[in-house]
Amino acid sequence: MSDDELTQRLEALEMRLMEQDASIEEMTHTLLDQEQLLRVQQETISRLEQLLQSLSPGDNDLPGEEPPPPHY
pLDDT digits (tens, 9 = 90+) for 12-57: 999 999 999 999 999 999 999 999 999 999 999 999 999 999 986 7
Looking at the domain assignment, is residue 60 inside a domain?
no
Looking at the domain assignment, is residue 61 inside a domain?
no
pLDDT the model gives residue 13: 98
Residue 35 belongs to what domain range?
A: 1-46
- Tell me the pTM: 0.61
Radius of gyration of the chain (CA): 30
At position 58, the amino acid (one-letter code) is G
The pLDDT of residue 59 is above 60: no
At position 45, the amino acid (one-letter code) is I
Looking at the domain assignment, is residue 20 inside a domain?
yes
pLDDT the model gives residue 62: 60
Contacts of 31 (CB under 8 A, 6+ apart): none
Task: Indicate the pLDDT class of residue 68, thresholds 50, 70 and 90.
Answer: confident
Looking at the domain assignment, is residue 21 inside a domain?
yes
Give the closest residue to 48 by CA, choosing from 60, 36, 58: 60
Looking at the domain assignment, is residue 62 inside a domain?
no
